[in-house]
Structure 1
Amino acid sequence: MTNDPLKAAWQTANIPAHDDLQAVVRARGGHPVMSRIRRQLLLEGGCYILFLLVYYDFFDGHRRPLYLNIILVLSVACMLMQHLNGYLLASSALKGPDIFRSLQQKVLQLKQYAWLSVGSRVLGWCGIMVFFCTGITWTNAKYGLLAGAIIIMGVQMAMLWQLWQRRINRIKNTLAELNG
């Protein structure tokens, strides 16, 4: 017996099983963060697919060489697969004998995904730029626009990388707190 009523209440509390908690979350429509990720995936995926359906006519894909069409389709598919992979990573349950090892595994997965996320966006946007920039008669103004677009994409990729590093560092800090 303990003299601390809070500790005694905690020890006698009826804690639902993990499977019961997952059933409750599923019955309520899922976790709100997962709902936002799913909504973003559907919106962006729908836009990518719509783009692939209309680019051939709208952006003269039929007048461009086959290799440029393949580059464009692969670039957009690369970014779409990156989004799907992110959703699957976010929805995967923690695996491990305890929370500490589970978070260690999640940190490794997030590091790999951060590289994949930034890399696939860079490759995707490079492929899209190659498709649209091929066959242009270049002037100084167009070079300036291209340089501006490259700078904007570079800043976006740097911000995306920093975002992933902050997420990973938050989990690392939690691991450090759990460890000691």
Structure 2
Amino acid sequence: MELNELKDLWKGDGTPHKKQKEIEVLMHAKSHPVFRSVRRQIVVETLAWVMFLLFGYSAFDAATKPLWVGLMLALPVMATLTHHLIGYFWMVSAPVGSIPLSESLRASYRRMRWFTMRDTLLRLAMLVGLVSFFAYGITFTAGKYGLLGVICTATLIQLVFHRTLWGRRLRRLRYTIQALDEAGSH
């Protein structure tokens, strides 16, 4: 199909008509696929970290370590999980209905950028706490320093992956906003 034919088809009577219920669903920024993936990530991470903290206490001998070492792990994890829950609702709380969907998504995009920066910093604190927790009380040898280097490298790779994931989500949301803006200007 040629570009002109596609434009004519788009402008013609062949465009599908949406039911009122479908339009109402589209009006909520929360229904965007980016926010669904964020919700899924938050649920999975929350369950995993809560399980880790509950079972990790006995499995990783947290009772034999000083309280401050346990808090170095528990506090950043709890701060990150709290940030996820509060941040998600903050991101999707952009007003909808009375303003265009693109404006609502734009407000969510700005909020998501701030969330991403804070989340990356909290993630770094959480990973530092995790490495510190497991490294406490170990007498280091050359081999153990090598292993610590591998763990720190893996931690940094995970942090870069996390940042890339959020960057991809932000780009996807920005492309949706641009597409809505372009559709509205025609």
Length-normalised TM-score, structure 1: 0.72
**Whole-Å Cα distance in 2 between the matches of residues 158 and 36 of structure 1?**
18
| Equivalence for 2:114 | 112
**Whole-Å Cα distance in 2 between the matches of residues 20 and 53 of structure 1?**
41
| Equivalence for 1:99 | 101
Distance of aligned partners of 1:41 and 1:169 in 2 relative to their CA distance in 1, 3 Å threshold: closer
Equivalent AA in structure 2 for residue 88 of structure 1: F
**Whole-Å Cα distance in 2 between the matches of residues 71 and 141 of structure 1?**
25
Paired residue secondary structure (1:137)? coil
**Whole-Å Cα distance in 1 between the matches of residues 37 and 105 of structure 2?**
23
Q: CA RMSD in A?
A: 3.5
| Equivalence for 1:25 | none
The alignment of Structure 1 onto Structure 2 pairs a total of residues equal to: 167
**Whole-Å Cα distance in 2 between the matches of residues 38 and 50 of structure 1?**
18
Contact residue 113 and residue 170 of structure 2 kept, 8 A = yes
Unaligned runs of 5+ in 2: 1-8
Contact residue 75 and residue 128 of structure 1 kept, 8 A = no
TM-superposition CA deviations, 1:156-179 (whole Å, max 9, x none): 211221222232233334444516
Paired residue secondary structure (2:160)? helix
**Whole-Å Cα distance in 2 between the matches of residues 116 and 33 of structure 1?**
18
| Structure 2 residue 144 is matched with structure 1 residue 142 | yes
1:8 is displaced (CA, Å) by: 6.1
**Whole-Å Cα distance in 2 between the matches of residues 85 and 38 of structure 1?**
12
Unaligned runs of 5+ in 1: 23-29
Compare 168-177 and 51-60 and name the one that shifted more.
168-177
TM-superposition CA deviations, 1:94-141 (whole Å, max 9, x none): 525112322221221110121122212111111111111111100111
1:47 is displaced (CA, Å) by: 2.8
| Structure 2 residue 88 is matched with structure 1 residue 84 | no
| Equivalence for 1:125 | 127
**Whole-Å Cα distance in 1 between the matches of residues 172 and 54 of structure 2?**
40
In percent, how many aligned pairs have the same letter?
Answer: 27
Equivalent AA in structure 1 for residue 106 of structure 2: Q
| Equivalence for 2:160 | 158
1:14 is displaced (CA, Å) by: 7.0
Contact residue 111 and residue 168 of structure 1 kept, 8 A = yes
Paired residue secondary structure (2:138)? coil
| Equivalence for 1:26 | none
Higher relative contact order (CA 8 A, sep 6+): 2
